[in-house]
Amino acid sequence: MSLICLSLTGRSIEEDLRVLDLYRGQVDVVELRADYLEPSEKFLIRSFPERAGLPCILTVRRKADGGQYEEGEGGRLAMIAEGLAYAKLDRSANFAYIDLESDFHVPAVEEACHIFGTRIIRSMHCVKGLPDNLDEAWKAVSGQAEEIPKLAFACTGAADLAKLALWAEKLPARDRIVVGMGEYGFPTRVLAERLGSFLSYTSPFSAGLPGAAPGQLDPSTLAKSYRFHSIGPNTEVYALAGGKSVVSSRSPELHNAAFCETLRDAVYVPIAAENVEAFLAAADALSVRGASVTVPLKETLLPYVSELSADAAKIGACNTILRGEKGWQGFNTDAVGFERALLEFLQRTDLAGFRATVAGAGGAARAVAFELAKLGADCLIVNRSVNAARSLAKLYGFAWGACDERSADLVADHSDLIVNATSVGMEGGPQGDPLEWYDFSGHEAVFDLVYKPERTALLCRAKAAGCRVSNGYAMLRYQAAAQFTIWTGREPPLSCFSK
């Protein structure tokens, strides 16, 4: 079973120990990142393992490898020697592991490790992307049977994630660590067991310390939300596919809680992808069974779906896929999620007589327009691309216009309800207010599909003008509940998808 390792990046040993105490019971191994310590603290390194009371890794990472150590190799060797000095026969008081790079070979250090039972993690870090030849990289770190080879590569896209996962499957059975760094490599940290990794590194973000490497999670999130220690070879994998911002989505919180509640051996993981083809390659490499699909992949996914539900076909976008016998099946739960959340917000059963404006013409806007038409609203579609606005509006006999001040009078005439179905204002997405050119009068009801942050610039401005406002979190919950049913064939647990 893969272990959770807490990487400590404090400026002092005392600070690191205080942070470790916050996570006891959640982590299995602790890594002392000595390259983060104040210079005077290096003389206290040796005391750390005994005081920590857990198996410890000593790491002094060079700047070139993604660490903080910038002095010469002589000084770094002195720090490593300090950590190994006066090793005790009681091995629990020694560092259980030491991380040494593939180009760092000092016979005296290696001999000391052998005598006192400190296993060497022989590592290679490529912070600019995957090397051209993964087999050569493996050969550079795996030469000694008693060592633990470690390869940590920045993934520059989901295509790199797919390549790394497929390659790791073919590695010989032995203790090893394979990590994809950054947003695109995020799934390797959750699915360490599936990649045969000995451990997964985490950082104490909730304690305020800097992350030791890009893409790491807080150990509490990995242990509790993702149920890391329950992931095994038979665990079903579900995913959230979209841009880089998916790694901060709240969808994993909802779906993983539902899997836990229903005792389903499954995990839901965000997969950031540069395009649909790269996501599908990663989905195949990780044996993804089903996925939520968000911007910017909703519409571009359609050609790769072998079967579409009736609603998804009418809307022209799918946000949910399930692997079937003939390929991917596509569904749209945005529409039903939006309808339920909107009517709850407005406290109505239909929108007869309502005049509404929808900002956007992408996959989410298509689901919104579909539902507004079904509910009886008369709508205006505004979008940066007027052609896209026109194409969507014509499906339902709606008005259309540009998403700028030229449409201010049109919006004023369709202002009972205003819906932002763009990604503007989303955390990790384009920032700003998509309707900054429109002056709210205070009578409008404003619904923003964005839910993170809780209050976008659009909602803050609308609220200040006296408007009723809602973000998209209720929609997220309701559409996620529908996805759960599609994937599992079961009713969603209300405890996970209700407020």
Q: Which pLDDT score is estimated for 91?
A: 66
Sorted by where each begins, the domain ranges of the chain are 3-216, 252-333+477-497, 335-472
Angle at 221 between CA 215 and CA 222, to 5 degrees: 70
pLDDT digits (tens, 9 = 90+) for 95-111: 999 999 999 989 989 98
Q: For the packed helices 334-346 and 473-488, what is the interaxial angle rounded to 10 degrees?
A: 140
161-166 average pLDDT score: 97
Q: CATH: 3.40.50.10860, 3.30.360.10, 3.40.50.720, 3.10.20.310. Which one for 252-333+477-497?
A: 3.40.50.10860
Structure confidence at residue 71 as a pLDDT band (50, 70, 90): confident
Q: What percent of the chain is predicted at pLDDT more than 70?
A: 98
State the pLDDT at residue 86. 65
**Model pLDDT, residue 297:** 87
Query: Whole-structure pTM over 0.75, yes or no?
Result: yes
Q: What angle do CA 361, 403, 405 make, to 5 degrees?
A: 165
pLDDT of 129 > 70? The answer is yes
Higher-pLDDT residue of 214, 448: 448
CA angle 404, 407, 409 (to 5 degrees): 135
CA distances from 413 to 164, 342, 416, 446, 448 (A): 54, 20, 8, 15, 19
3-216: what CATH class? alpha beta
Average pLDDT score over the chain = 93
Tokens of 56: 């410890």
- pLDDT tens-place string over residues 445-485: 999 999 999 999 999 999 999 999 999 999 999 999 999 99
Q: pLDDT digits over 372-394, tens only? A: 999 999 999 999 999 999 999 99
Joined tokens for residue 34: 């000595």
Q: Which of 198-207, 274-283, 348-357, 480-489 is predicted least confidently?
A: 198-207
The CATH number of 335-472 is which of 3.40.50.300, 3.10.105.10, 3.40.30.160, 3.40.50.720? Answer: 3.40.50.720
Q: Put the strands of the sheet holding 177-181 in their side by side order.
A: 177-181, 148-154, 119-126, 97-101, 56-59, 29-33, 3-8, 199-202
DSSP 245: G
Position 208 confidence tier, pLDDT thresholds 50, 70, 90: confident
Active-site residues: which are they? Answer: 298
| Token digits of residue 295 | 């911007």
pLDDT tens column, 167-193: 999 999 999 999 999 999 999 999 999
The 3-state DSSP class for residue 120 equals strand
